[in-house]
Amino acid sequence: MPRYRISEVATLLGVSDDTVRRWAETGRLPTVKDPGSRLAVDGKALADFAVRSAAEIRRLGSGPVVAESARNRFPGIVTKVVRDRVMAQVELLAGTYRIVSLMSREAADELGLEPGVLAVAAVKSTNVVVEVPGR
């Protein structure tokens, strides 16, 4: 199983190195010692932590929606809204991911979408490509 350095974990989770170290110090994120006595996180432990953390974040985005067919829900903060007469382009930052949605201006106005608003991007797709980058 791969191990990840503290800085790699921080990048993957979209937080600072200090945040990862605090999680490790408090026992929230289990670590192991790499050769040379550097702290590292086991890949399986990181995956488990990411799933638990995502569940906590999803609770932030839970609201009056009682059922939804889309399983991929990304709570985040609206960072940019560009409107013209008919359409709106809405950018949302969900963790380290930038999600862009095109919708009618009327929909963006009705939702009150402006930078700083908490929103959830619900994604339903028939095609998802998974890639494994070289390390």
pTM listed for this prediction: 0.55
Reported as a single tens digit per residue, the pLDDT across 41-90 is 988 888 888 878 877 766 665 566 555 565 788 888 898 999 999 999 99
Q: What angle do CA 102, 99, 68 make, to 5 degrees?
A: 80
Per CATH, domain 3-60 is 1.10.1660.10? yes
d(CA 90, CA 96): 16
Write the pLDDT tens digit of every residue in 22-42. 999 999 999 998 878 788 998
Rounded to an integer, what is the distance from CA 130 to the centroid of its chain?
Answer: 16
Q: Which pLDDT band holds residue 130 (cuts at 50, 70, 90)?
A: confident
Tell me which residue has tokens 């959830």: 120
CA gap 124, 69 in Å, rounded: 8
Question: Which class for 31: exposed (0-12), middle (13-18), buried (19 or more C-beta within 10 A)?
Answer: buried
In CATH, what number does 72-123 get?
2.40.50.100
Q: Where are the domains of the chain?
A: 3-60, 72-123
